[in-house]
Amino acid sequence: MQQSQRPLIHPFLSAMHELLQMCLKAHAKNQHNFLICALTALSYAGCKAPDPATQNSGESVSTATPLNGISWRYLALGDSYTIGESVAPEERWPNQLQIQLETAMIGAAFADVAILATTGWTTSNLSQTLSTSGYEEEDWDLVSLLIGVNNQYQGTSLEQYELEYEDLLQRAIAAADGRADRVFAVSIPDYGCTPFGASDQAQISAELEIFNATCKAITESYNVEHFNITDISQQWPEVEGLVAKDGLHPSGMQYEMWVESFYEKVLALLEH
């Protein structure tokens, strides 16, 4: 049996109608009550009815525009963690981040993320390759930096890391049109919490803690966002599936957890 269709009335108009009916009844009983009711109705009428089109839907409509006026461009600088050693390209954390940003930013177009990273790179390797890549001559709306694990693994001095990391951070800011608020750094994951590093976990974790503290201090001294994902990597072996099949690098699942932990803050960087 088909029910009869009732006309759809906006809740705001319905409430206004009921209020006016109350005023008319008040007038019939007492003029003083009518005056109060009428003033209330006028105040209510001055309120703007909510616009369903602008109510929060979990997505963002940004008023910011990309530098080239066409599509947002993101450059990710790093090592094996950024290139996603042992995971599929779509599981790399920069790729997952871009998808999250595209989903959240209604109508925004993104160029494919540019990744300058190779397994085994130290700060020196990244610096040298960045110099000849041509990327520093291009315009980037967003730049990320994650580097340092191989400095620790290869026994490079902390002093050298400090100098080279700071130089890379300065160049990342320059590549982002000089905007420190369009750059972010990611901490070094703890490979001591993997099958590869488990036998020497205490020393690896202790050394990486020092490198990460240095990275964080330098990053924040430039008013650049620093995201700590190290604690996520340290959830192995309690949390299954965090390590790739090579027994050393993060899995796509762990990279997803990274992105979930900071993508909203990255989104905020692009919205102004």
* pLDDT tens per residue across span 131-178: 999 999 999 999 999 999 999 999 999 999 999 999 999 999 999 999
Predicted pLDDT at 13: 43
| Widest Cα–Cα separation across the chain | 90
Predicted pLDDT at 107: 85
Torsion angle (degrees, nearest 10) of CA 255, 258, 264, 269 = -90
Which residues in the chain come in under a pLDDT of 70?
1-62
Predicted pLDDT at 30: 53
Q: Give the β-pairing of 183-186 and 74-78.
A: unpaired
**Which residues, at least 6 apart from 156, have a Cβ–Cβ distance to it below 8 Å?**
122, 123, 124, 150
Q: Under CATH, domain 74-270 is a member of which superfamily?
A: SGNH hydrolase (3.40.50.1110)
Are residues 111 and 72 in contact, defined by beta-carbon separation less than 8 angstroms?
yes
Q: What is the rounded average pLDDT for all residues in the chain?
A: 86
Are residues 116 and 133 in contact, defined by beta-carbon separation less than 8 angstroms?
yes
- Spell out the domain ranges in the chain: 12-47, 74-270
Predicted pLDDT at 210: 98
**Which residues, at least 6 apart from 8, have a Cβ–Cβ distance to it below 8 Å?**
none
Alpha-carbon gap, residue 20 to 249, rounded angstroms: 68
> What's this model's pTM, rounded to 2 decimal places?
0.79
Predicted pLDDT at 272: 81
**Which residues, at least 6 apart from 157, have a Cβ–Cβ distance to it below 8 Å?**
none
Strand order in the sheet with 225-227: 114-117, 74-78, 142-145, 183-186, 225-227
Predicted pLDDT at 12: 41
Predicted pLDDT at 130: 98
Q: Which two tokens stand for residue 30?
A: 């007492």
Using DSSP, state whether 112 is helix, strand or coil: coil
| H-helix segments, 9-143 | 11-29, 31-45, 80-83, 93-104, 123-133
Taking each continuous run of H as one helix and of E as one strand, the counts in the chain are 10, 5
Residue pLDDT, tens place only, 48-66: 444 444 344 445 555 789 9
